[in-house]
Structure 1
Amino acid sequence: MKKFLLKFLLTIAALALILSACAPAAPTEPPANQATEAPEVAAPTTPPTEPPAPTPEAPVDLEIWVSGRVTEAGPPPEDWVAYDIIKNDLNINLKVVLLPGTQADQDTKINTAAASNSLPDLFFVNRDSWFKITEAGLIANVEEVLPLMPERTKTHYSDPNRNNQVTYNGSLYGLADPGNLVQTDAMVIRQDWLDKLGLEAPKTLDDFLAVAKAFTNDDPDGNGKKDTYGLCAFLDGSGLNGAGLGPRFDFVYGAYGVAGTWNLTSKGDFGLNVRNPNYMKATEFIRTLNEEGVINPDWPTLKKDDFRVGWKQGKCGMMQENFAALSTKSNYADFDANFPDGEWVSFDPPTGPDGASSAGVTLTPARIYAVSQKAMDEGKGPAIARLLEWMATDGYMLLAFGEEGVNYKLDANGYVTTEGLADADKWTAKEAQPLTQLANMVYIFSDIELQARYPAYKAESGREMAPLDYYNAFGKQAYTNSSGAAVINPPANAADFVRFYSENIVQFVLGQKPLTEEAWAEYIAGLDSLGAKDLEASALQTLIDTGFIE
C-alpha cells in the first residue's frame, strides 16, 4: 500500500511539471520604482562612416591629326562645342591638328613624326606612308578595338576592298574609312571664253592645244592684258600611285591609254605604264603645252590652295578640278564676285591619236586612319574607340553640319536646310567652315548627306548653281579603272624610287632633259636599277592574292 501511494504521488508531481512547462509564462510585474519605458540609446559621438566615393577616372588625352574638309579653312576654334561634349560625355581631352593641304606635305609631317617616334594617337595617312610606318612597327593592330565600336565598324569598316588596303600580315593595321566620292574630278572649261572667241570645247588633243593657245593669246577676258592661260594645273599627289605628274595631267595620259602608274588590264599586260611607248608620247604632248606657254608657268611648284586662287582670279581657261571645290556656294563665291558672267562647264576629256580618252583613274577609295603603337601601349585604344563610335552616332550631325538650330535645321522631310539662319552661321558659309573640319571622319555619302553637302543655290550674280549636276556630268565621263593599285605595297626604297620616277618626268616636260628614245631608255634603265622589275613582280603577286587580277 505504501509503495502504491508513493508511485501515485510521483506521477502527480511529474504531470504538474509537464503542465507548467507547456503553459505560457505569466508577465512579470516590474518593481514599483522601475520605469516601464525602453531605455534611451546614447547618440553616437561620431557620424557613421560612409563608403568612400570612387575616384573619378582622369580624362584621357587624345591627339588626332586630320585632313580638314576645307584645306583653306582653319581648325575648330578653342570654344568649339564638340570639345566640351567629348570631354563631359566621353572623358576625353581632344586635341585636333590639321594636316597640310597637299599629300606631299602631309607625308613629310607624318614621316618626320615617325622618325622621332612622336606620332599622335590617331592620324590620317596615305597608304604608302602607312605601309612604311607599319613595317617599322609604329602602327598598331586595331582588330581588338573594333568590337568596342559596333556602329562605326558596321558603317565604316565593313568593306573588304577598303580593308584589304590596311591589311598587314593578315591583320588590320589601319581604319579604312569611306574615301572620297569616286569620279569627282574631271575637266571643265570657261564657256564664256569659248563664246567670246567663237570656239567650241575641244574634242581631240589637237583641238585642246588650239583652244589653249587661244585662251592664252587672244585676251578671252577682254581686259587688254596677256594674263590668262589655256590650262591651269599643279603637281598633285605623291607616293607610288601618284608618281609622275599626278592626276591633274591624267587626262593627257588617258588620251594615250596610259593614265595612272599601272597597267591593270590583265595579268599578261601588267606592269608600270612608263614601259609603254605611249607614256613617252603623252609626256611629249605635255612638253609641247609647256613650250607653247599655255600652262600657268608656276605649275611645278604651285600648291593646291594657290591653284584655286588662280582660277578664282580668272587666270584659267581649262583645268581638271573637283566638282565641290569648283561649285559649292562657299567655294564658288569668290569667282562669282570677280566674274559674274563667268561660267564653268564640264567637257569630255579629249581623245588621243588612237581614240582613247580618260579623265583619270578611279578606284575604291579609302581614307586611312592609323592608331600609333605608342597610343595602344598607353592603353588609349578604348578611348579612341569611344571617340569614333560617338562620331558615327551621337556626334555625326554635329561634326558633319554643326549645331542644330545654329548652323543647320531639319526640314519636314528630315533633310538639312539653312533657311532662316544667319548667313555667317550657316554650315555652308566660309565663316563656319572651321566647325566642320572633321566632317571627312563621319561622311558615308548617304542621300541626306549629299543633298545637304551639295545643295542647289542661286549665286550672288543670279546664276543658278547645282553642284550635283557637275558631279553627275563628271560621272558620265570615261575613267580608267585602277582599283587594284590601292593594295600594291611600295618598295623599301619607295622615296627614292618615286622621286626618280617623278623628277625625271618633270625634267622631260620642262626641257631640262632631252626627250628622245635614248633618253627615255636611260630613264627606264634607271628605274630598273632601283628595283622596278622586282616591284612589278611583287605587285602582281599581291594583285593575284587579293583577287584583283586572275
Structure 2
Amino acid sequence: MLKRQHMALLLAASLGTITACSSSGTDSSGDTAKKDSGTEKKKLEVSVSILDRGQVASDEGTYENNRTTKYINEKSGINVKWVPILRTESTKKLNTLIAAGEAPDLMWEFNRDYMSTLKEQGAIQPIDDYIEKYSTSYKNYLKAHPELKPYTQFDGKTYIATSARGIDSIANHAIWIRQDWLDKLGLKTPQTMDELVNVMRAFKDKDPDGNGKNDTLGAAFNFNYTGIIQAMYAAHGGLWYLENDKLVKGNFTDRYTDVLAQLKLFFDEGLIDKEYITDKNYQKERSLLVTGKAGVYFSSWNIAPEYRELKQNVPDSKLVPLEPVATKYGKFGLYQEPPANRLIVFNKNMKNPEAAVKLLDWWIDKNWFDVRFGQEGVHYKLVNGVPQAIDAEKNKKETLYAPEYAVLDQWSPKPEDFPVMAAQDPISQEYAKVQGESLKVAMKNKFRRDIPYNPTFPELAETSTSFGPVAEDIETKVITGGSQYTAQWGMEQLRKEWKRLGGDNVDKLAQQWYEKNLKGK
C-alpha cells in the first residue's frame, strides 16, 4: 500500500501539470521533434487500447483525444494512439480487430483466461527480452512485487505486464439499498436471500416513494448483476471450483441451478425491469436508481456519480452498502479481484516494442499519479499526501475518466482517506463516509476463489469460445421464457451442450492441469 509520505514525494517529483492545450514548441498532439547531432529524431509511437465506459463528456473530447491523452503525449515523450473498446463488448471488439490485423500494439483487459486464449492463438508475444533490454523502472518494480509473477507467465515465459491492485481495486462488486425505504416500510436489513426477495417485493408493491403510483422496482443494476447473484451462491460462471478435489466449472455446479432460478424469479415477478435484456449499456437501469425508482442496486462498491445524482434528484434518499446475503449454501463475499491489476499484452505485430516498454516505465515510475488525479491546484490539493478534490462537478467532467489511462499505477487508498480526498461540498463529504464504509463491506466477506487463476490450455479456450453464445441463449430462455423453461431444464441443456462441444475432454484436461500446476502448492 502506498504510504502518504511516499505519495507526496512522488507528486513533488512530477513537476509537470495536465493541460488541455499544447505547450510552446509542440504541435496539437504534444509532439516535439528532438534534434540529435543536427538531425531530427522521430518521436516514439505506440497504440494502446482503452476501455470506453461512456465517461468522456462531449466538450472534453473523445476517448481518443482529450486533456488526459494530450498530457500523456506531451509528458511521456511518446505519441500514444488510443483505440477505444466498448467496455461491455471488450473481448469481442479486440477479437475483431485482431482478426482484421488492426489491433493496437498494447492491449489490456482484466481476464487472464482471455490473455491465455490470445497466447494460444499466436496473437501476442513474450516480452522478457524487451523488459530486459529497454526497461529500468518497470523491471525494478517487478523485482519488488514477486507475487505478480504467476499472473504474467505462460509456459515459463512472460506475456503480460501488470501492476499490483490497491485495496480499492481488489474490491469490485457490491449491493446498495435504500435505507430510507426500509425505514419507511418498517423493514429490517435483509440477511438471507429469502429476506432480500421479500424486501424487493415490498419495494415494488408498497409505494416506498409515497407518490401514490405503482412505479417503483425492487432493484436496478449495472453489468455486475449476474456476477453478484452467482457469487452469493458460490457458483461464478467464469471460475472453476474444487468439489471433492475435482475441478468443476462454476456453471456446472449444482449451485448454478439456484442462480438461474433466482434470476428467473426476479424477472418473473417483475422485481426488476423486464426490458433490461435490450439495455446493453445499462443506462436505463442507472436512470431507475438515480431518479429514485429502485430500492436495491446491484453494482460496484464505488458509485460516486450515481450517488450524487440520486441525492440531487431525491435529497432525502439514504443509499447504503448492503452485505451479501446468505443462501442455503452459506454466506459468501461478492467478487473480489486477484492481486494483478490490468493485464497488458504486446501485439505479435508490434513495430516498436521499445516505445511500449518506455511507456510502461513512464507510467509506473511516478506519472500515474498525475494521469489519475489531474492538475494540482486545479483538480486537487494535497492534504497530508492525499489528493483532495477541489470541485466535484469540475472533476466529474474533467477527471472521472482519467484513471482508465493510468494503465499501470501504484494507487491504494485507505477507507479513512476518502473524506480527505473528496471535495468539501455536502454531497461529496456525505458520500466519502459512505464510500469508506462500502469498501469495508466489500472486503468483509471473503469471495470464494478456490484456485488463484483458471486453467489455461487450447482445448479449453476453443470449447469455451464455442460454448459462450450457446450458454447465453439457454440462460436467456430460462430467465425470460416463462414456466416451460425451468432452471433444471437450463442446467440439463448447459451440460448437454458442453458435452457436445467436447467438454468431457476439457474437464479431464482441466483436472490434469490442476494436479500438475496447483495441487499441493
Q: Same fold (TM over 0.5)?
A: yes
Q: Find the aligned partners of 2:68 and 2:372 in 1 and give their Cα distance.
A: 13
Q: Output the amino acid matched with 1:442.
A: D
Q: Output the amino acid matched with 1:72.
A: Q
Q: Output the amino acid matched with 1:191.
A: Q
CA distance change for structure 1 residues 295 and 464 in 2, over 3 Å: closer, same or farther? closer
Kept in 1: contact 2:230–2:256 (CA 8 A):
no
SS of equivalent to 1:387: helix
Residue 62 of structure 1 corresponds to 46
Q: Choose from 60, 69, 72 the match for 2:55.
A: 72
Kept in 1: contact 2:68–2:371 (CA 8 A):
no
Instruction: Supply the RMSD in Å over aligned alpha carbons.
Output: 3.2
Q: Choose from 494, 511, 518 the match for 1:540.
A: 511
SS of equivalent to 2:79: strand
Residue 170 of structure 1 corresponds to 156
CA distance change for structure 1 residues 169 and 478 in 2, over 3 Å: closer, same or farther? closer
Matches within 5 A, 1:186-225: 186-225=174-213
Residue 23 of structure 2 corresponds to none
Residue 20 of structure 2 corresponds to none
CA distance change for structure 1 residues 453 and 477 in 2, over 3 Å: closer, same or farther? farther
Kept in 2: contact 1:231–1:294 (CA 8 A):
yes
The total of aligned residue pairs comes to: 473
CA distance change for structure 1 residues 432 and 96 in 2, over 3 Å: closer, same or farther? same
Q: Output the amino acid matched with 2:164.
A: P
What are the Cα deviations for residues 473-514 of structure 1, in whole angstroms up to 9, with x where unaligned? 221134212453445454213222122223212211223552
CA distance change for structure 1 residues 145 and 285 in 2, over 3 Å: closer, same or farther? same
Q: Find the aligned partners of 2:417 and 2:125 in 1 and give their Cα distance.
A: 33
Residue 384 of structure 1 corresponds to 356
Q: Find the aligned partners of 2:91 and 2:417 in 1 and give their Cα distance.
A: 29
Q: Find the aligned partners of 1:184 and 1:518 in 2 and give their Cα distance.
A: 32
Kept in 1: contact 2:204–2:218 (CA 8 A):
yes
**Correspondence 1:445 to 2:412:** yes
Residue 258 of structure 1 corresponds to 235
Matches within 5 A, 1:395-414: 395-411=367-383, 413-414=384-385
Kept in 2: contact 1:166–1:172 (CA 8 A):
yes
Kept in 2: contact 1:175–1:368 (CA 8 A):
yes
Q: Choose from 388, 393, 397 the match for 1:430.
A: 397
Kept in 2: contact 1:260–1:361 (CA 8 A):
no
Residue 444 of structure 2 corresponds to 476
- Greater shift in the superposed pair: 451-460 or 287-296: 451-460
**Correspondence 1:317 to 2:295:** yes
SS of equivalent to 1:289: helix
Matches within 5 A, 1:98-497: 98-102=84-88, 105-125=89-109, 126-147=111-132, 148-155=134-141, 159=145, 162-179=148-165, 181-233=169-221, 236=224, 246-251=226-231, 254-255=232-233, 257-265=234-242, 268-306=245-283, 307-324=285-302, 326=303, 328=304, 330-360=305-335, 363-375=338-350, 378=351, 380-411=352-383, 413-418=384-389, 421=390, 425=394, 428-445=395-412, 451=418, 455=422, 458-460=425-427, 463=430, 465-466=432-433, 467-489=435-457, 490-497=460-467
Q: What is the percentage of aligned positions where both structures have the same residue? A: 21
- CA shift at 1:372, angstroms? 1.0
SS of equivalent to 1:99: strand
What are the Cα deviations for residues 38-80 of structure 1, in whole angstroms up to 9, with x where unaligned? xxxxxxxxxxxxxx93422212222211236x64235468473
What are the Cα deviations for residues 386-431 of structure 1, in whole angstroms up to 9, with x where unaligned? 11211122423221211222222223x322224xx56655xx4334
State TM-score, norm by structure 2: 0.80
- CA shift at 1:472, angstroms? 0.8
Residue 83 of structure 2 corresponds to 97
Q: Find the aligned partners of 1:358 and 1:510 in 2 and give their Cα distance.
A: 27
- CA shift at 1:270, angstroms? 2.1
For structure 1, list consecutive stretches of 5 or more residues without a partner in the other structure.
1-51, 237-244
CA distance change for structure 1 residues 113 and 352 in 2, over 3 Å: closer, same or farther? same
Residue 14 of structure 1 corresponds to none
CA distance change for structure 1 residues 287 and 453 in 2, over 3 Å: closer, same or farther? farther
- CA shift at 1:471, angstroms? 0.4
- CA shift at 1:308, angstroms? 2.7
Q: Find the aligned partners of 1:176 and 1:543 in 2 and give their Cα distance.
A: 24
Q: Output the amino acid matched with 1:197.
A: L
CA distance change for structure 1 residues 519 and 188 in 2, over 3 Å: closer, same or farther? closer
